[in-house]
Amino acid sequence: MDGNTSLAIRYPWPEPPATGQAIEVAEGILWMRLPLPMALDHVNVYALDDGDGWTLIDTGFSSKKTRAIWETLMAGPLAGKPVKRVVVTHHHPDHIGNAGWFQSEHSAELITTRTAWLFARMLTLDVQENWPQETLDYYRSAGMAPDILAKRLTERPFNYCDTVYPMPLGFTRIKQDGVIRMGGRDWVVHMGNGHAPEHATFWSRDDNLVITGDQILSSISPNLGVFVTEPMADPVAEWLEACERLQGLARPDQLALGGHKLPFTGLPLRMKQLIENHHSALDRLRDYLDTPRTAADCFLPLFKRKISGGEYGLALVESVAHLNHLYHIGAVTRTLRADGAWEFQRKG
C-alpha cells in the first residue's frame, strides 16, 4: 500500500446498523443508530461493555419512539445487562435527549462536561409559549426573510424540553486531559468547541479508537451557529482553534466514531479538510461582501447551493457565525438598517 492510499478516508462499514440492531466496531464496542425527524435523519450512539454493565455514548432525541428503540436494544444487543453510565458528548437534544430518562428510570450515572450539563439543565427549564422579543429581534437582525418570520410567528416556539427528557439534579464532570475507563480501555478527554461549547471527545490510550461526537464527522461539517443567547459569539474561531489543536492528535490508523454518518479512518486528512473548508468559505464570503449583505443574503457563497425549507434556520445561524467571525477579525464593517437588520461589507 503506498503512502497516499494509507492516508485516504475509508469507511470500514458501508452500511449503518438497522434500527434496533448493533454493529460491533471493536471488541466490546457496539455502534447503534436512532432516528431523527429532520434532514439529518439519524444520530449514532455507542455502547461500551464494562463487564457488569454498559456505558452509553449519547442517547438520541427524547420521544416514546426513541425510548422504545432503546428498550429493544437493551433487551437485544445489550443482552439485558444494565446501563450503568451515560456519557454525553455535548448538550444538543439529539445527544442528551434521553439522559434524564436513563438517570431517572434506569439509575444510570450521567457523565458530561460542566458546560453541557449547565446548558441542558437551563434550557429544559426555559419554556416559552410565545416568541420572546429578543428572539424576534435576533431574527430581524440576521435579515430573516419576512415571509419566513411571519410563518414562525404563527407557530409555537421550539422548546428544548420538547426533545429532552427532564433532567434530575446531579452529574459527574469530565474535563480536558481527564482519563475515563470505558469498554476495557482508558480514554483521554479532549475538548472540542464551536459546534457546542466544551464538546467532549475521547481518545483511546490502548488502541486506535476515537469517539468524536459531532466535533469531527466523516462527510459533513457540523453546524456552527450563533443564537439569541449570545448574538455576538464567534463559534468559527472556537471551531478552528479546536480543529487545529485536535489535528495534532490524529493518526491515519485511528477509527473515528462520530455522532452522525459513518465511522471512518483517515483522520489527519479529514481534519485538514474541515479546517480548509471553513477558510475557503470565509474567503468566498469576504469576496461576496463587496456590496452590503445581511446574513440571510449570504447562503450561496457559504453553502454553494440554494437553501430552503427545514434547512433555513440552521443556515441562518451559521451565516451569522461566519459574518461575526469576519467582523471580529476586522475584515468587515457592519451597519444597522432601518428595519433592524445588520448589513456587513468588506473593508477596503
What whole-number distance in Å separates Cα of residue 68 and Cα of residue 74? 10
User: What was the pLDDT predicted at 13?
Assistant: 98
Question: Which residue has 478527554 as its cell numbers?
Answer: 189
* 253-263 tens-digit pLDDT: 999 999 999 99
Domains and CATH numbers, the chain: 3-130+159-280 (3.60.15.10)
Instruction: Decide if 336 contacts 292 (C-beta within 8 A).
Output: no
User: What was the pLDDT predicted at 287?
Assistant: 96
Instruction: Decide if 257 contacts 44 (C-beta within 8 A).
Output: yes
CA angle 152, 156, 157 (to 5 degrees): 75
List residues bridging with 186 in a β-sheet.
Answer: 181
Grade residue 4 by pLDDT with cuts at 50, 70 and 90.
Answer: low
N- to C-terminal Cα separation, the chain:
50
pLDDT exceeds 60 at position 271 = yes
Rg (CA), the chain: 21
Q: Can you read off the three cell numbers belonging to residue 120?
A: 441542558
* 222-233 tens-digit pLDDT: 999 999 999 999
Residue 302: which of 344, 341, 269, 260 has the closest Cα? 344
The mean per-residue pLDDT over the stretch 287-312 comes to: 93
Cβ-proximal residues to 136 (8 Å cutoff; 6+ apart), any chain? 149, 153
* 74-127 tens-digit pLDDT: 999 999 899 999 999 999 999 999 999 999 999 999 999 999 999 999 999 999
| Percentage of residues in the chain having pLDDT higher than 70 | 98
Q: Can you read off the three cell numbers belonging to residue 285?
A: 464570503
What whole-number distance in Å separates Cα of residue 77 and Cα of residue 13? 18
What whole-number distance in Å separates Cα of residue 213 and Cα of residue 207? 18
- Find the helix packing angle between 146-153 and 133-141, rounded to 10°: 170
Taking the alpha carbons of 178, 185, 27, 59 in that order, is the dihedral positive or negative?
negative
pTM: 0.96
Q: What is the mean pLDDT of the chain?
A: 96
Task: Kindly report the three-state secondary structure assignment for every residue of the chain.
Answer: CCHHHHCCCECCCCCCCCCCCCEEEECCEEEEEEECCCCCCEEEEEEEECCCCEEEECCCCCCHHHHHHHHHHHHCCCCCCCEEEEECCCCCHHHHCCHHHHHHHHCCEEEECHHHHHHHHHHHHCCCCCCCHHHHHHHHHCCCCHHHHHHHHCCCCCCHHHCCCCCCCCCEECCCCCEEEECCEEEEEEEECCCCCCEEEEEECCCCEEEEECCCCCCCCCCCCCCCCCCCCCHHHHHHHHHHHHHCCCCCCCEEEECCCCCEECHHHHHHHHHHHHHHHHHHHHHHCCCCECHHHCHHHHHCCCCCHHHHHHHHHHHHHHHHHHHHCCCEEEEECCCCCEEEEECC
* 155-207 tens-digit pLDDT: 999 999 999 999 999 999 999 999 999 999 999 999 999 999 999 999 999 99
Cβ-proximal residues to 147 (8 Å cutoff; 6+ apart), any chain? none
CA angle 278, 299, 130 (to 5 degrees): 110
Phi-psi region of 203 (alpha: psi -120 to 50; beta: other; left: phi over 0): beta
The mean per-residue pLDDT over the stretch 256-285 comes to: 97
